[in-house]
Amino acid sequence: MMNRILADRMQLLGTESAFEVLQRANKLQSQGMEVIHLEIGEPDFDTSPNVISSAVKAMNKGQTKYCPPAGLPQLRECIAKVSGEKRGLSFKPEEVVVTPGAKPILFFALQACVNPGDEVILPDPGFPIYESAVGFCGGIPKPVPIIEKDDNFTLDLDILERSISPKTKAVILNSPHNPTGGIIPEKDLQIIASLVRDKDILIISDEIYSDIYYEEKPVSIASFPGMKERTVIVDGFSKSYAMTGWRLGYGIMPQTLAEHFAKLAVNTHSCTPPFVQLAGLEALQNGQDSLQNMVREFKARRDILVEGLRKIPGFRCPTPRGAFYAFPNVDDTGYDSSALADKLLNEGGVATLEGSSFGAAGKGYLRLSYVNSQEYIYRAIEKIEKVILNNRKKQIM
């Protein structure tokens, strides 16, 4: 019966494999196996106590009712100020739309701008929701490979240029990048800007990891001349302030588009809970120390993980520049990356994600999230090495 009831478009929606691997890992754990979780993309830090108290205080003061669909004025104002300072730009509160998490901004941008048959360029490998959300509105995803370059990952600009057609409606960028940890260099962004500037192409710039970087600061494509007018910046609180479960994100975009996003909000979730927004306000105003402590810890873990992975036979690991993911190539282990991810989980008790779950160009790679303690990262490296060496021995025998 369900086949007749479900709309055809439901077949176009994909999902995220991280949740499926988490389930498998938890099952092994419940059977008594020690599992080190490096699969999930959320900080292992707790939300800061001052942020939690501000939500409790807001709830006690009655901030538990409907509020404006585009967000509380004081939060929109603060986001405009802080985000503008971060990117060297000036934003108006009217250009900010607050949503339950950053995902609705991605979804709304595509729903608002993509007609059936329009093409949308997106990174491959990339956050799986991009392709899923493009397909859901009848758009045609045009994956552009992310390649290793100068010990970093960035878009293949030649393929990007060749992928632009009269049907191109939008280009999705993500820097710092999930799953590679790469940061698109400023000169590459400049080229991308020059490719789209004079065409009616929207940039959806997913900057959800923009606070988490270790050396060079990521640049927003919106900061180049003429680009703010054609860019939707996607950002939020999930990663920067360890607030994944609170569901709080935002978009910054031209005001006319923001008005359409507010209409989409009215039609879907009405508004983002006001006490959650007030917690977000506290995080933006007084959360910089916790953010910097978290980034320092991520950097220490990154260094341990990358150094450890580079010593494992068959692993090649470019240095992640931001976010909290390492993306080693494992082709030289002799294993298919998918088979290796299964082996590492089932034999070694280390949960990772295989690269092709982020797109065809991710084949040959694994994603490891360093959202676990330094102690567990050391243990994970030992366990991975043991699986590789044991299997080598078996092959030799």
In terms of Cα–Cα distance, which of 132, 121, 213 is closest to 175? Answer: 213
Among the listed residues 188, 206, 211, 354, the single contact to ligand PLP using CB under 6 A: 206
d(CA 230, CA 124): 22
Using rule CB under 6 A, residue 306 touches ligand PLP: no
> Any bridge partners for residue 149, and if so which?
152
From 152-160, 236-244, 339-347, 367-375, give the range in contact with ligand PLP by CB under 6 A: 236-244
Report in angstroms how near the CB of residue 378 gets to ligand PLP at its nearest. 25
Using rule CB under 6 A, residue 146 touches ligand PLP: no
Using rule CB under 6 A, residue 324 touches ligand PLP: no
Stated as kind and residue range, the H or E segment containing 259 is helix 255-268
The amino acid at residue 162 is R
Report residue 245 as tokens: 């479960």
Using rule CB under 6 A, residue 180 touches ligand PLP: no
Report in angstroms how near the CB of residue 41 gets to ligand PLP at its nearest. 4
Q: Is there a contact between 366 and 181 (Cβ–Cβ < 8 Å)?
A: no
Identify which of residues 174 and 277 has a Cβ nearer to ligand PLP in the complex: 174
Report residue 137 as tokens: 């509105």
Using rule CB under 6 A, residue 132 touches ligand PLP: no
Among the listed residues 249, 274, 318, 348, the single contact to ligand PLP using CB under 6 A: 249
Using rule CB under 6 A, residue 352 touches ligand PLP: no
Who contacts 53 (Cβ-Cβ below 8 Å, separation ≥6)?
none
- 166 φ/ψ sector (left φ>0, alpha ψ -120 to 50, else beta): alpha
Identify which of residues 75 and 102 has a Cβ nearer to ligand PLP in the complex: 102
Among the listed residues 205, 238, 240, 329, the single contact to ligand PLP using CB under 6 A: 238
d(CA 43, CA 239): 6
From 59-67, 99-107, 132-140, 376-384, give the range in contact with ligand PLP by CB under 6 A: 99-107
Using rule CB under 6 A, residue 244 touches ligand PLP: yes
Using rule CB under 6 A, residue 236 touches ligand PLP: yes
- 117 φ/ψ sector (left φ>0, alpha ψ -120 to 50, else beta): left
**Footprint of ligand PLP on 27-46 (CB under 6 A):** 41
Report residue 12 as tokens: 């176009």
Using rule CB under 6 A, residue 277 touches ligand PLP: no
